[in-house]
Structure 1
Amino acid sequence: MSKALSLKDLNLRVLAVDDEPANLRVFEQIFEAFGAKVTAVGGGREALALLEFDPFDVLLVDIHMPGVTGLELMRLLRTSSFPSCEAPAIAVTADVYSYRRSDYLRLGFDDFLSKPVPVVGLVETVRRLAASSRRERTSSPSPHWAAQELGAV
């Protein structure tokens, strides 16, 4: 496995949030195979409970979930003082019609991948986001702006 496709050297903690158990199993297998530690949770409420106290390096967030949706999760996280409030986040969804990539970036995500998520694309995206500090990225607005925009979309 080439270093470009490995995550082992980054020693990452990834939080995968999806209401479909099969998707969580796939994400767990991918991240474990490429050398990242992954925690998988089945919804936004569970994710918030973890994020309140535990730091994660990268978040993988499904958009359409019952209860706290991925968009609501991001709004709450980005306006919080949680340890991972500025962690890079990737929106994942099979719904490619409701929002565009630029909408997700405006709402506080750092990137977007459509389901089914391509393995190489996921690993490359996680590596790129984890390797750059949030301060260096200019594509995402401040958390305050993202919270305001959420109601407008």
Structure 2
Amino acid sequence: MRILVADDSPVNQAVARAILEAAGAVVETAANGAQALERLSSEPFDVVLMDLRMPVMDGAEAVGRIREGQAGPVDLPVIALSADAQPGEGARLKALGFDGFQPKPIQPASLISAIAQAVATRTNTPVRNEAA
């Protein structure tokens, strides 16, 4: 699985990379929404992890442009990342076009589960429960 991590923090990029590569994913990064759209326009990805607050272009604008068909497939799974976890945030972000939400600091098992769920939902594939 190819995953694009869009986050302006090199530390957050490194943490996400370590978690995802340990799970077998190929990880690429972008420092803002505009860079993410550039990468999505020229490279195939299976899922995007998108920070909400970034310079140049934030995550909400970037996901809106993805859903409008400006970069990558319009149905590409995009999961929001944010340190600002407020009640009702998940519903608000879904309304903006995100497929899921992961609060920071990132919890590895929760992140992997969110990715599996978002990909399964977009592809209508059941999620296998590895613990069963």
Is the pair's TM-score, using the shorter chain for normalization, greater than 0.5? Answer: yes
Question: Contact 1:54/1:84 (CA < 8 Å) preserved in 2?
Answer: no
Structure 1 length as normaliser, TM-score?
0.75
User: Which has more radius of gyration?
Assistant: 1
Gapped runs of 5+ residues in structure 2? 126-132
Structure 1 runs (4+) greater than 6 angstroms displaced: none
User: How much has 1:41 moved relative to structure 2?
Assistant: 1.3
Distance 1:108 1:136 in 2: 17
Give 1:9's aligned residue: none
Aligned length: 125
Distance 1:74 1:56 in 2: 14
Give 2:122's aligned residue: 134
Give 1:104's aligned residue: 93
Quick one: which of 105, 111, 114 aligns to 1:116?
Answer: 105
Gapped runs of 5+ residues in structure 1? 1-11, 138-153
Structure 2 length as normaliser, TM-score?
0.87
Question: Contact 2:65/2:71 (CA < 8 Å) preserved in 1?
Answer: no
Q: CA RMSD in A?
A: 1.8
Relative to structure 2, which stretch is displaced further, 97-106 or 44-53?
Answer: 97-106
**Residue aligned with 2:110, SS:** helix
Distance 1:112 1:133 in 2: 14
Give 1:22's aligned residue: 11
